[in-house]
Amino acid sequence: MKKALAALFLFAVVGSALLLVLSRERTASAGPAEPAAAAPDDTAGLHEAMWYEKLAGGLVHCQLCPNHCRLPKGQIGLCRVRKNVGGTLYSLSYGQIAAVHVDPIEKKPFFHVLPGREAFSLATPGCNLRCLFCQNWEISQAYPWEVRTAPMTPEEVVAAALRSGAPAIAFTYSEPTIFYEYMLDIAKLAKEKGLKTLVVSAGYIEPEPLKALLPFIDAYKVDFKAFDSQFYADLTGGSRDPVLRTMKIVHESGVWLEVVNLLVTGKNDGAEEVRALARWVKENLGADVPLHFSRFHPMHKLMNLPPTPVERVVRAREIALAEGLRYVYTGNVPAAEGDSTYSPKTGQIVIERKGYFVVRNELQDGVAPDRTAIPGIWK
């Protein structure tokens, strides 16, 4: 059955506005990527990929993410955007923007990064996971030729971000790991121009490319799926331990880290699993790393499940606080205590939020009125 979807992405630029309309006609598939006959073999305009090795017989071995695709000539990786053309691995998505918008930074969510400011946010098609609950499956589970994209060089992206007035660029919506080369080139330019750089990722990346990227990144959000390894295998197509490793590497690098855990109804919202995650975060990342519990809404291939009961999300926050984490938030829960940031010394609100919007910020350069320094990026 053909299905047509359209999404509008609008961002303001000084003196003009750019409207990207993305459309596609396809049925989403959560299965492994198939070799794609429709992909171009012409390498004109394609960007050679990083992090791969050439093997005998024209085979290439991609070492960017834990999927470790070994691709014969003509084949595309599981992420749908990296192809072996004539024994060389190319990125099919470099410079191909599928979504762009200026969003509140809180929407990523980052709650300890430039509160109340915005991020110039962009994505290309593709993803190296197959989450059955993906919220952006229209672009994340698409080959580049299945969605409408707009070409933008890294220079054009940074110029547009500067014109928008946003102090940061966010690589988000789909999975930035799979447009690594594009992200890296944009991030290097952005840093030269004084912009902050934010990565919103599932953290499914190999250590070496991650370490090479981090010097150009200010903040990294890891969308951690579940503490149960079987959940990763059954619902995401990936595995848990590489993501735990990513969080440790990011934290040890000094790049600001926030962790999000989407609680999917009846799948990963049990008290013991939440407690295990909170303990792991405290022991391995420390009590100051923000942990967000987000409420699931029926999406993509899990339309049959009800939304996560609000009390489960609230309970998850209470468990994590009881385990000693200092900054625990809830997402997609209306008018929640977990929207705001509290001083761990006095319990007073220091940043009050309604959903993604900051309504009061008591911090002065990251210091609360009670003189508690709240960790994060504040200016």
Question: Which residue number has the CB closest to ligand SF4?
Answer: 77
Contact between 68 and ligand SF4 by CB under 6 A: the answer reads yes
Q: How far is the CB of 67 from ligand SF4 (least distance, A)?
A: 4
Q: How far is the CB of 270 from ligand SF4 (least distance, A)?
A: 30
Strands 60-62 and 52-54: antiparallel
Please provide the DSSP assignment of 13-58 as one string.
ETTEEEEEEEEEE-----SPPPP-TTS----TT-EEPSSEEE-GGG
Contact between 184 and ligand SF4 by CB under 6 A: the answer reads no
Residues 108-137 that bind ligand SF4 (CB under 6 A): 128
Contact between 54 and ligand SF4 by CB under 6 A: the answer reads no
Angstrom distance (rounded) from CA 106 to CA 41: 41
Q: How far is the CB of 91 from ligand SF4 (least distance, A)?
A: 9
* Interacting span for ligand SF4 (CB under 6 A) from 73-81, 144-152, 223-231, 242-250: 73-81
Q: Which residue has the tokens 């205590």?
A: 337
- Radius of gyration from C-alpha coordinates of the chain: 20
- Selected from 22, 39, 69, 168, the binder of ligand SF4 by CB under 6 A is 69
Element (H, E) at 151: strand 150-151
Residue 69 or 235 having the CB closest to ligand SF4: 69
The number of beta carbons lying within 10 Å of the beta carbon of residue 21 is: 11
Phi-psi region at 82: left, alpha or beta (left = phi > 0; alpha = psi -120 to 50): beta
* Interacting span for ligand SF4 (CB under 6 A) from 72-80, 154-162, 189-197, 356-364: 72-80
- Selected from 67, 96, 136, 172, the binder of ligand SF4 by CB under 6 A is 67
- Selected from 20, 22, 39, 65, the binder of ligand SF4 by CB under 6 A is 65
Contact between 79 and ligand SF4 by CB under 6 A: the answer reads yes
C-alpha to C-alpha distances, 298 to 103, 134, 186, 290, 294, nearest whole angstrom: 23, 10, 34, 25, 13
Please give the DSSP secondary-structure letter assigned to residue 237.
S
Please check whether residue 315 is in contact with residue 271, taking contact to mean a CB–CB distance below 8 angstroms.
Answer: yes
Q: Cα–Cα–Cα angle for 299, 300, 302, nearest 5°?
A: 65
Residue 82 or 292 having the CB closest to ligand SF4: 82
Residue 130 or 282 having the CB closest to ligand SF4: 130
Q: What b-and-e string marks burial along 57-73, b requiring 16 or more CB atoms within 10 Å of the CB?
A: eeebebbbbbbebebee
- Selected from 22, 64, 97, 122, the binder of ligand SF4 by CB under 6 A is 64
- Selected from 178, 183, 255, 313, the binder of ligand SF4 by CB under 6 A is 178
- Selected from 9, 46, 82, 333, the binder of ligand SF4 by CB under 6 A is 82
Q: How far is the CB of 79 from ligand SF4 (least distance, A)?
A: 3
- Selected from 39, 62, 113, 202, the binder of ligand SF4 by CB under 6 A is 62
Which stretches of the chain bind ligand SF4, using CB under 6 A? 62, 64-65, 67-69, 77-79, 82, 128, 178
